Structure 1
Amino acid sequence: MSASRAPSVLAPARATLIGCGVLTAVSALAGMAPLIAVVEISRRLLHGDTDVWPIIVVALAALAVKQLGTFGAGVLTHLADIRVSFRIRRELLGKLRRLPLGWFTDRNSGVVKKTVEDDVAALHQLIAHSVVEVTAAAVPVVVAIGYLFAVDWRMALISLVPLVAGLVVYQRAMAGAGTKYPEFMTWLTRLSGAAVEFVNGIGVVKAFGTPGVASRRFQEVSRNFARFFLDWAKATTRASVISEILLSPPSVLVVMVGAGGALTAAGWLPLTSFLAFLVFGTVTTAGLMTVMMSIHPLVTALSVARGIGEVLAAPELPVPASPIVPDPDAPGPVVRMRGVCFAYGDTVALDGVDLDLERGTVTALTGPSGSGKSTLARLLPRFDDPQRGSVELYGSDLRDLDPAELYRHVAFVFQDAALLRMSIRDNIRLARPDACDADVRAAAAQAQILDRLDALPRGLDSVAGEDAELSGGERQRVCIARAILADRPVLVLDEATASADPENEARIQDALSEVARGRTVLVIAHRLSTIRGADQIVVLDEGRVAERGRHEELLARQGLYTRLWEHDQRARQDAAERLEAGR
C-alpha cells in the first residue's frame, strides 16, 4: 500500500492539526520572549539603564500567551484525537463486517485485535502530541539560531558545530530506519498474534500435559523478534549515544564558554552578546534533542496509520445491487462447482475443479496436505470467490446472492472452533438468537456435549474462557451444537476431527452423524476412517480432482486414495501401539 493511505486516515484531523501547528508556533515564539528579555535587561543594566519594567511586562504577557496557546493547542488536538479515533473505529468495524470471511481465516485474532484496538490507540501520540511537541521544539531552534546570527555571526557559526556534528552522527545511526520501522511493526504484529494463540490454547494443552508445544511458536517468535531488535540496537546504539553527547547542553556550554570567553577576552565579543550565546545556545540543543526523540514515536504512529489504511483499503467481496433469492426446490444438485480456479499469489490452490453435491448426501474431500481441500470448502460459504469458474447454490451463482441470504442456507464448522467470551448458552444461540433453552439443550445433546456442559460450574451459563475451559474437541462439539440449532440445509465441515483426541473423535463423529442427517454435507477429514460411509469421496491432488467415488470403489482402483488409506491405517495402528505401550 502506498504511503498516501496514512494521510487519508488522518484527513478529518488535517485542518485541526494545521491550525494547532500554527497556534503552537505562535506560542513557541511567545515563549522565547522571556529569554530575549533576560539578555536585553542585562544589556540595559550594564549600560546603566534601569528602565526595564516595560521589558518585564512584555515578557510576562508573552509568557501568558505561550501558556494559553499551548493549553488551547493541546485541548484541540486531544478533541481531534477523540473524533478521529471514534470515526476510525466505526469505519473499521463497518469494514470488518463487509470483508470476506477468508480475510479473517488468513489472519489470527491477535492481528485483528492489534489493528482495531492497539493501532487506533497508537494514533493518539500522532494526533494529540506529535504535531504540537515537534512544532514547540523546532520553532525555538530556528528562532534561537536566527537571533544568534543577528548578535554575532562568528559565535553563531561556532554554536552550530556541535549541532551539525550531532546531526551527522545521528543520521548515520538512523540510516535504514525507513525500512527497519515497517519491519519492526511487522514483528510486533507477529508477536501479538503468537501471544494470543498461546493464551487461547494454554488451557487445552495443560489438560493434555504438553504446555511446551503451545509455547514453542511464541518462544520462537519472541527469540526472532529479540534477535532482530538487538541487531538493530547494536547498529545504532553507539552512534546514538555519541550524537546525544554532542547535542547535550553541557557539551554545547563547553564550546560556548571556551569560544565565547576567548572572543570576549580578545575584545571581539561584548559581554552581553556572550550572555546571549550562553542563554540561547542550550535552547537550540534542547529543542533539537526533543525533535530527535519525537522521530521514533512519529514514524511508529505513521506506520500504524498506514496499517489501518491497509485494512480500510482491503478488497471486499462484491454484493449484488439486485440479489437473487435462491429456490431450494430448484432441480439439479444443491451445490454445483464448475471450472473452479483459485490461487494464493503465484501458488495455485485449485485448478479447474468440478463438483456436484446432491441433495441429502455427504461428500467427503480428501487428499495430501496442500491439495486444496480447505480452499475448496471455503468457497461454499463464500469466504472467498473463485478467480475463475463458478460456485452455485440451487442453480444460483453465489456472487448473485446477498451474504445474509446465503447464510440462511449454509452453515459451517471449521477446524478452529471459535467461542466468543460469553456464556456457552449464548455461544450456541448465536445461530438462532430467538431459540428457547429447550432447543439449545436439545442441540447440545445431539452434539454429544450436554453432559460436559452441565458439569461446568454454572452449566450452560458458564462463560467461555472464564469458568468454562474446554478442550479443542469439546469446543468443536459446541460449534456443532450451534450448527444443529441453525438447522441449515447445507453444512460445511472442515477437518472437524483433525486435531481431536481419540475419545473426542468418537464423540465428534456421533455429533456429525446427527447434524448430517437430512442435510447436504461437504466434509474434509485427514482421518479417512471417518468418511468411509460418505456417499461420494473426492480425492484432490495439487488442486485437481484425482479420483472420485465411494470408499470401496476407490480402494479397488489402487490409486492415490488407496495410498492415503494405507498411510492412515498405519498411523492409527502406530498410535494405538504407542498408547498401549504407555499403559
Structure 2
Amino acid sequence: MRKQGFNKEDKKFSKDGLVNLMEYLKRYNVFLIMALLFAIGGSAITVYSPDRLSEITDLITQGIMTGIDIDRIKEIGILLVGLYLISIILSYSQSFIMATITQKTTNKLRSDISNKINRLPLKYYDKNTVGDVLSRVTNDVDTIGQTLNQSMGNLVSGISLLIGSLFMMLKTNVTLTITAIVATLIGFGFMTIIVSKSQRYFERQQRLLGEINGHIEEVYTGHSVIKAYNAQEKTNKDFKELNNKLRDTGWKAQFISGLMMPLMTFVGNFGYVAVCVVGAMLAFNNKISFGVIVAFMMYIRFFTQPLGQLAQAATSLQSTSAASKRVFEFLEEEEMVDESNNTVSIDNVKGNVSFENVKFGYNEDKLIIKDFSVDIKAGQKVAIVGPTGAGKTTLVNLLMKFYDVNSGKIKIDDVAIQDLSREKVHDLFCMVLQDTWLFEGTIRDNITYNKEDVSESVIVSACKAVGIDHFIRTLPHGYDTVLDDNTNLSAGQKQLITIARAMVKDAPLLILDEATSSVDTRTEILIQEAMDKLSAGKTSFVIAHRLSTIKNADVILVMKDGDIIESGNHNELLKLNGFYAELYNSQFEKAS
C-alpha cells in the first residue's frame, strides 16, 4: 500500500493542521492575493486618514489663534470622504473574494473526502465509526469554512493595520511610539501563553465531537433494539458521559482562549492612557503640537484595535487548527493500491473458480483462513456452511477482492484476481448481502443501481421472479415510488428488492450471503426457485445458516476454524454422519 494525499500526487501532510490548510489554499493564490491586497489597501487608507485629521486639527487650532482656513478644511474633508468610499469598496471586494475562496475550498475539501472514502480499504471502516467520518465531513469542514470566511480577512486587515499604524506612529513621534510598543508587547506575551495552553483542549473538543456523532449514529440505527432491551437508561448514561466530557473540554477551551479578548482590551486601554500621559507631558514642554496628540490618540486606537481582532482570530484559528488536523489526517489515510493502469481482463468468462493454499488474517499474526484450497467448476452452485466465525464471509470478501490474501492465489478462469483490478473483479459478480442497502430514490433506480439502459421488461421479470412485483404495483406510484422515511418496507421486502437488483445485473458469478435470512418460509421458497433460474449456467456461492435452503447445492463446503473439513452434496454429507450432519440435524431437534 502507498499513501496518497488529497490528490493523486505522492504528497504527505504536515502534523500542523493550519500548515496543511495554507498548502491547500495555494490553488486559489491569485484570488487570495487580491483579497489580501484589498485588505491592506483598506487598512492603509484608514491609517492615512488620521494624518489628514491631524492636519485639520492643527488648522482649527491655528484658526482659533488667527483665522480658520475654511477652504483648506473643505478640501481635506472631501479627500477624506473619497478615501473612505474607496475603503468601503476595497472592504467589500475583500469580503466577496474571501467568501468565494471559502466556498470553493470547503467544496473541494468535501469532494476530496468523498473521493477518499471510495479509495479507502474496508479495514479502515472496520476500525472507525460512521459518525466520526461524518463529523470530519460536516463539523470539521464547516469549522474551517467559518474561520476562512470570518477570521482570515480580519486577521490580515488587523496585521496590516497594525503595521501601517506603527509606521505612521514612528513617522509622527518616536517617543510616543515606544510607549505604545512596550504596552503592546506585554499583551502579545500573554496571548502566546494562552494559545499554548488552550490548543490541546480545542483538539480534544473536535475529537469528542466526532465520538458523539458516532454514538448518536449507532443509537439512531439501533433504536428498535435499544427499545426492545430497555437500554434507554444505559444509552442515555453513555451519551451524558460523552456530552459532559465535551462540555468540560469546550468550556476549558473557550474559557482559556476567551481570556485573550479582555486582556487585549486592557492592554489597548493601558497603552491609550500611557500615550495620553506621555503626550500631555511632551505638549506641555512644547515638543509636540495639539494636533499630533489628537492624531496619535487615534493611531494608538488603530494600533491596539487589531490586538482584539488578533485575539478573536487566534481563538478561531485554534479550533480550525484542530479541525484541519482531523480532516487532513483522514485525507492522508493509507489507500488501496492504484490499479487504474491495470489492463488485464477476462474475456468470455466461464466461471471456474479456484482457491490455492489461501491464507488470510485481519491481523497478520492471527490467521483466520489457514490453508484453504478448493476447485469449483463453472455453473456449480456452491454452498458454504459452518459455525459463526468459521470464515465464511471472510472467504467471500477475499473472492470479491475486498481484502487481499496474505499468501496463496484465488483464480477465476485460471487468471489470478491479484492480476485483475478491483473494478473488473466486481463486474464479474452480483452480490446480495444479509444487510440490505437501499438509497433514497425510486424503486426502479434501486433495482437498476449503477446499470444503464435496463428495459422495463427486465425489471418487471426480475421482480416477478422474486415475488415482489405485486407489492410494488400496490404502491401509489408503482416502480416510480420514492423510497424514503415515509415509505414503510419490511426487512424482507427490502431484501427482495436487493435480490432483484442482483438479477438485473446478470453477472456471470453470484454471491448470496444469508440473502434469505429476512424473509418468511413461503417467500424463501419463491426466492430459491428464482435463484435456481438466476444461477442457471452461472457459478454461485451461497452462505447460509439455514441449511434447508442449500439442499440442492452441487457442492457444500463445510468450514470450521478457517479450514474445509468436509465437502460434497447434501446427501453425501449426511451419509458421512460428520460435522455437517450434526449441524443439519441440530436445526430440527428442538422442532421435533
Same fold (TM over 0.5): yes
Instruction: Give, in whole Å, the separation in 2 of the partners of 1:370 and 1:385.
Output: 19
Match of residue 66 from structure 1: 87
Instruction: Give, in whole Å, the separation in 2 of the partners of 1:9 and 1:192.
Output: 31
Match of residue 13 from structure 2: 3
TM-score calculated relative to the size of structure 2 = 0.76
Question: Given the alignment, which residue of 252, 256, 259 partners 1:242?
Answer: 259
Instruction: Give, in whole Å, the separation in 2 of the partners of 1:83 and 1:234.
Output: 32
Instruction: Give, in whole Å, the separation in 2 of the partners of 1:344 and 1:9.
Output: 34
CA contact (8 A) 1:165 1:246 kept: no
Match of residue 354 from structure 1: 373
TM-score calculated relative to the size of structure 1 = 0.77
Question: Given the alignment, which residue of 11, 28, 33 partners 2:48?
Answer: 33
Question: Any unmatched runs of 5+ in structure 2?
Answer: 6-11, 15-19
- Letter aligned with residue 134 of structure 1: L
Match of residue 527 from structure 2: 511
- Relative to structure 1, the CA distance from residue 119 to residue 259 in structure 2 (aligned partners, 3 Å threshold; closer, same or farther) is closer
Deviates more, 1:419-428 or 1:171-180: 171-180
Question: Given the alignment, which residue of 190, 194, 200 partners 1:170?
Answer: 194
Instruction: Give, in whole Å, the separation in 2 of the partners of 1:443 and 1:217.
Output: 45
CA contact (8 A) 2:436 2:495 kept: yes
Question: What's the secondary structure of 2:335's corresponding residue?
Answer: coil
Question: What's the secondary structure of 1:352's corresponding residue?
Answer: strand
Cα offset, 1:491, TM superposition: 0.9
CA contact (8 A) 1:173 1:237 kept: no
Match of residue 334 from structure 1: 352
CA contact (8 A) 2:446 2:501 kept: yes
Instruction: Give, in whole Å, the separation in 1 of the partners of 2:512 and 2:523.
Output: 15
Question: Given the alignment, which residue of 452, 456, 478 partners 1:437?
Answer: 456
Question: What's the secondary structure of 2:492's corresponding residue?
Answer: helix
Match of residue 20 from structure 1: 35
CA contact (8 A) 1:144 1:283 kept: no
- Relative to structure 1, the CA distance from residue 482 to residue 543 in structure 2 (aligned partners, 3 Å threshold; closer, same or farther) is same
- Relative to structure 1, the CA distance from residue 121 to residue 567 in structure 2 (aligned partners, 3 Å threshold; closer, same or farther) is farther
Deviates more, 1:87-96 or 1:443-452: 87-96
Instruction: Give, in whole Å, the separation in 2 of the partners of 1:281 and 1:8.
Output: 30
Match of residue 539 from structure 2: 520
Deviates more, 1:77-86 or 1:486-495: 77-86
Question: What's the secondary structure of 1:416's corresponding residue?
Answer: coil
CA contact (8 A) 1:365 1:538 kept: yes
- Letter aligned with residue 29 of structure 2: R
- Relative to structure 1, the CA distance from residue 341 to residue 171 in structure 2 (aligned partners, 3 Å threshold; closer, same or farther) is same
Cα offset, 1:475, TM superposition: 0.8
CA contact (8 A) 2:131 2:210 kept: no
Cα offset, 1:99, TM superposition: 6.6
Match of residue 324 from structure 2: 302
Matched, 1:465 2:480: no
Instruction: Give, in whole Å, the separation in 2 of the partners of 1:106 and 1:497.
Output: 28
Match of residue 305 from structure 2: 283
- Letter aligned with residue 349 of structure 2: P
- Letter aligned with residue 132 of structure 1: G
Question: Given the alignment, which residue of 405, 419, 425 partners 2:444?
Answer: 425
1:76-116 per-residue CA deviation (whole Å, 9 max, x = no partner) reads 34444565566666666766677778878887876777677
Matched, 1:190 2:205: no
Matched, 1:488 2:512: no
Question: What's the secondary structure of 1:298's corresponding residue?
Answer: helix
Match of residue 325 from structure 1: 346
Question: Given the alignment, which residue of 429, 433, 438 partners 1:414?
Answer: 433
Q: CA RMSD in A?
A: 4.5
Cα offset, 1:472, TM superposition: 2.3
Match of residue 468 from structure 2: 449
Instruction: Give, in whole Å, the separation in 1 of the partners of 2:298 and 2:450.
Output: 75
Residues 536-547 of structure 1 aligned to structure 2 (within 5 Å): 536-547=555-566
CA contact (8 A) 2:339 2:422 kept: no
Matched, 1:226 2:243: yes
Instruction: Give, in whole Å, the separation in 2 of the partners of 1:11 and 1:260.
Output: 41
Match of residue 292 from structure 1: 314
Match of residue 184 from structure 2: 160
Cα offset, 1:65, TM superposition: 3.7
Cα offset, 1:43, TM superposition: 5.5
Instruction: Give, in whole Å, the separation in 2 of the partners of 1:167 and 1:123.
Output: 22
CA contact (8 A) 1:114 1:192 kept: no
Instruction: Give, in whole Å, the separation in 1 of the partners of 2:132 and 2:143.
Output: 15
Cα offset, 1:156, TM superposition: 1.6
Cα offset, 1:492, TM superposition: 0.7
Give the % identical residues.
21
- Letter aligned with residue 14 of structure 1: N
Cα offset, 1:478, TM superposition: 0.7
CA contact (8 A) 1:364 1:536 kept: yes
- Relative to structure 1, the CA distance from residue 186 to residue 549 in structure 2 (aligned partners, 3 Å threshold; closer, same or farther) is farther
Deviates more, 1:484-493 or 1:400-409: 400-409
Cα offset, 1:423, TM superposition: 1.6
Matched, 1:393 2:373: no
Match of residue 9 from structure 2: none
Question: What's the secondary structure of 2:354's corresponding residue?
Answer: strand
- Relative to structure 1, the CA distance from residue 100 to residue 338 in structure 2 (aligned partners, 3 Å threshold; closer, same or farther) is same
Instruction: Give, in whole Å, the separation in 2 of the partners of 1:557 and 1:367.
Output: 16
Instruction: Give, in whole Å, the separation in 2 of the partners of 1:525 and 1:164.
Output: 68
Cα offset, 1:514, TM superposition: 2.0
Matched, 1:315 2:336: yes
CA contact (8 A) 1:493 1:522 kept: yes
1:188-211 per-residue CA deviation (whole Å, 9 max, x = no partner) reads 66367547x63xx77xx4xx9957
- Letter aligned with residue 468 of structure 2: I
- Letter aligned with residue 448 of structure 1: G
- Relative to structure 1, the CA distance from residue 245 to residue 506 in structure 2 (aligned partners, 3 Å threshold; closer, same or farther) is farther
Cα offset, 1:183, TM superposition: 2.1
- Relative to structure 1, the CA distance from residue 171 to residue 44 in structure 2 (aligned partners, 3 Å threshold; closer, same or farther) is farther
Match of residue 8 from structure 2: none
Question: Given the alignment, which residue of 344, 358, 374 partners 2:362?
Answer: 344
Instruction: Give, in whole Å, the separation in 2 of the partners of 1:63 and 1:224.
Output: 53
Question: Given the alignment, which residue of 370, 376, 386 partners 2:395?
Answer: 376
Deviates more, 1:127-136 or 1:181-190: 181-190
Deviates more, 1:282-291 or 1:111-120: 111-120
1:197-235 per-residue CA deviation (whole Å, 9 max, x = no partner) reads 63xx77xx4xx9957789899868854642431231243
